Amino acid sequence: MKQEDRLSHFLNEESKFSSTGVKRRTMMPRNGSVSVFMTEGMKEEAVWAHGDAYAGSIAIARADIIARQVDEVGAETSSRLHVIFDNDPPLHASITGFPDEKDHVLLVAQVLADKCGLPVRRGGPGEGVLTQE
């Protein structure tokens, strides 16, 4: 994975974002990590289709962040935040290295959320349906 690669966390609820951006709880870790997909270089339709196929439900928006920014958030918040690419499911990676203290986790998640871009799916579910060959 390159430093400038885009990582996407798929959002399936409107409560996870607002007109002002990605909400903090979206970037709160589950079992110590935040699940993302390496979507760099993919066409928009393919990104949505990938989320539908592998992120567990139909995506309505994404929290996009550059891999380098994850490291930057780690440095800014004195945490050991980093990305681990595991490709299971395909293109899957995890943002991990969250601190142990809850207040510290809140801070890291908030700074992460603030860095995220928020592409919202325009065509609704079904746009970019993954075609099987």
Binding site for another protein (CB under 8 A): 15, 20, 23-25, 28-31, 56-57, 77, 101-104, 106-107, 110-111, 114
- H-state helical runs in the chain: 44-54, 67-76, 102-115
Closest approach, Cβ 43 to another protein, in A, equals 27
Closest approach, Cβ 2 to another protein, in A, equals 28
Q: Are 47 and 39 in contact (CB under 8 A)?
A: yes
Closer residue to another protein, CB minimum distance, 88 or 133:
88
Closest approach, Cβ 68 to another protein, in A, equals 20
Expressed in angstroms, the distance from the first to the final Cα of the chain is: 27
Closer residue to another protein, CB minimum distance, 17 or 40:
17
Where in the chain does DSSP place strands (E)?
A: 6-11, 17-18, 21-22, 33-38, 61-66, 82-85, 92-96
Closer residue to another protein, CB minimum distance, 2 or 27:
27
